[in-house]
Every structure is written in structure tokens, then in C-alpha cells.
Amino acid sequence: MFSKILIANRGEVAVRVIRACKEMGIQTVAVYSKADKSALHVEMADESYCIGGPMVKDSYLNMDVILTVAKKTGAEAIHPGYGMLSENPEFAKECSDNGIVLIGPSEDIMRKMGQKEVAREIAKSADVPVTPGSDILAGGDDAIRNAEIIGYPVILKARAGGGGKGIRVVRNESELIPAFEQVKKEAESSFADDAIFMEKYLENVKHVEVQIIADTKGKVLILGDRDCSVQRKNQKLIEECPAPLLAEDLRSRMYEAAKRLVKAVGYVTVGTVEFLVKGDKFYFMEMNTRLQVEHSVTEMVCGIDIVEWQIRTAAGVELPFEQEEISRKKHAIECRICAENAKDFTPATGMVELLHVPGGVDVRFDSALYQSYEVTPFYDSMLGKLIVCSDTRDGAIRKMKSALSEFVLLGVDNNRDMHMKFMENGRFVIGNYDTGICQKVL
């Protein structure tokens, strides 16, 4: 097992990883930008080092500086969290070349699954259903030809996309070329890779993902599934585990498909296979080769510390439990608390004047917030995740309503009230919702 880990991230996920390391007796090294000098992860870590200016390109994306700190401090491994460098194959290669373990899959697997058009081909070869789609589009004319073959509506996707960026839905030919140019520009700006491809756009679908973990001996376990259909502009807002109103036969088929895909690429450690569900059919969307924001809801149900076992499997530890030992008897819901204006959802900033976090049995708030903390404009607007768990879905909804009513955050505009709308929405309450629910509730 590692004795010291550097956390190449910030905010809530950095705090989450540090907590897991502390429980495992592992020393931690934090890195931070000048804007984060008073951040909670800086105070919690055993060692902390400033690595650059407020912009992520000058700090949290600066591979050379991060690796220099890791070598200077004797860190044997780097945990990238999510976002930032977590799915960057070049960073994985640099870590390997410097004798440092990146807590995640290998560079080769990260590269294959990170290029969405390559991942589609791997999925097809593993007999995992995919939607009709194209190869990388050579230009506007190529996009027009493929759209005619696939049929409108279509969705344009950046090969290296994520976090709701580099995606546009196109409903007719007149929209195609402007959308094509927009996605290319956004992809180049966000991911330094302007390659895009096209898929058939499925409307009124459920977005369901399967959480997997695998060890170096080829053992692959399913820790559960999550419904992530509550989204605004392709950004997830609410997740629940397990997905409601999902037939057990369909769930089993999705689990087996996820296992086939993971085994096909020889995947090791934690990952998530994402699917679109329409009726009794499902289609592979992408694989996230990292820890996900919403891992917490799965932890609450299965009772396994996903971050701990992500670290252990990266260190070569074999999984000691079997599939039948993993619990699916509870239900958990997560609401992402974001700093945003309630009217137009634009990101908000400010000083935390008052913070009250709800408590009680199976109530959890994963966050890096504290009183007098300043929310700056430089980073993602998510402030934390409010998670509850109960024996039933109805119980989880009631518990979430109670927790939201108790949650107080003054000084920074946030979306607490928006989440309460969902908890009281009839369609959400019965579980019969899809990716279009935000248009009906907000």
C-alpha cells in the first residue's frame, strides 16, 4: 500500500480523497492555486504546496509542476480526483515515466476509452449495444452526409468531451453547419482537441450509469447503478441509486454489458459505464475512466468506500468481496448544491456568511465549504453534494426534503430551492422521469 499520495485536485473531491487517505493511514500532499490558499483541502493535508495562479491552466492542469511536487515530497501515487487531469492520458504517461502511480487506469486504456469514437468500436466488439453514429467528421460536408444516413435529430459530440461541454443537438440541416463549427471551437478551447463525431439523438430517454470496480487479477464487480436523468444543459443535478422503475431483466443485461466492456479492455480500478435507456433497450454512451462526482450515492447503498478501494486496487490489492455480498437493499439520492443565480442559473460568487449543514442518520454533505470561505469565479460552481439514504425510495425523498429544508447557506446564491421543486414534483416522486424533466420543472 502507498505511504504517501498527492491529490492533484481541489475542492470537495480533494477533501473526499484526503479523508479516505487519513482513514487508511496514508500521508497526503495537497497542491493549490493562489486563489485556493485558504481552501479546506490545503488545511487538511499533511503537506501543501502552491503551484500557480488562479486559472486551472496555470495550476491544476500544470503537469510538470505537479510531478515536481510529487517527486520532491516522495509521493508514490497521485490521485487526480475528477475533472482536471483525471482522464488525461498524457498525464498518465508522465506519471508512469516518472515512476509514480496514477490512481486510475493505464494510459492505453484511458486513451482508448477517452476517445469516444474508439470506445464505441470497442463496445460494439464486446457486443454492447450502441446508437447509430459516425467516425470522426472530416468537415461540414461529411457531417451533412452522415446526418442524412443517420436521420435527424442527431447529436454532435467532441471526441474528448465531458462535463456537458462539446455537445450540440441538431434537429435539421439548417442548424447543422453552425452547430458543427460551434462544437469544434468549444472542443478546441476546452479539450485542445477539435475532433467531433455524430450520433443519433435519442429523446425522452433515461441516463443510467453502472459503477464498476476491477482488480489486477481480472475480477470485475458491479457496485450498483445510478439514474442521472435530471440534467440541465447536459449537466447532472440529481442522481439516485438504484435507478427507479428499471426492470430487473434490463438491469441485469446492462450489468453484463458493462462487465463485458470492462473485461474487453482489461480495466483496473474504479470506472463508470454510461447508458441511455429507452423502453426495454439500452445503448452505450461512454465510459468514464475515473471517480465520478456521484459515486457517493452508490457508497451509501452498497456500503463500500469506493475511494478507498480505488486506491487499494491501484496499489494491486485484490478485491476480497464477491458480487453477491454487495448490498442493493437501500435507496440513496444526491442533490448537487451549486453556486448559481436562481433566475438564470448563472454562476454566483461571494463569501459564506452562514452555513448550517443538516444531520441525522444516513445524511451526508460532501463539501469543502466552511463559514467565511470565499467562492471565487475561477472554478466549477458545485459547492457540495447533499446525500441521503433510506430503506425505500419514498423514504429517501422524504429525508431529502427534510435535509434541504434544514440546509442553510447565506452569502452565496445557490440552488437549494430548485432541488426542493424536484422533490415535490409528481413525476419525479413516482420515478417516471427522463432527461427532459428539467424543461417541465424549471
Residues designated as active site: 290
Is the backbone peptide bond immediately before 377 cis, with ω within 30 degrees of 0?
Answer: no
Q: Which residue has the cell 467516425?
A: 135
CA distance 348 to 329: 38
Q: What is the CA radius of gyration of the chain?
A: 21
CB 244 within 8 A of CB 277: no
Q: Which residue has the cell 490545503?
A: 42
C-alpha cell at 215: 482488480
- Residue 21's H or E segment, with its range, is helix 11-24
Neighbours of 96 (CB within 10 A): 13
CB 14 within 8 A of CB 29: no
CA distance 4 to 77: 7
- Report the sign of the C-alpha dihedral through residues 210, 183, 112, 151, in that order: positive
126-151: burial string, b at 16+ Cβ within 10 Å, e else: bebebbebbeebeeeeebeebbeebe
Give the CA diameter of the chain.
59
CB 95 within 8 A of CB 86: no
- On the CB side of 126, CA atoms within 13 Å amount to 22
Strand 363-367 to 154-162 pairing: unpaired
- On the CB side of 317, CA atoms within 13 Å amount to 16
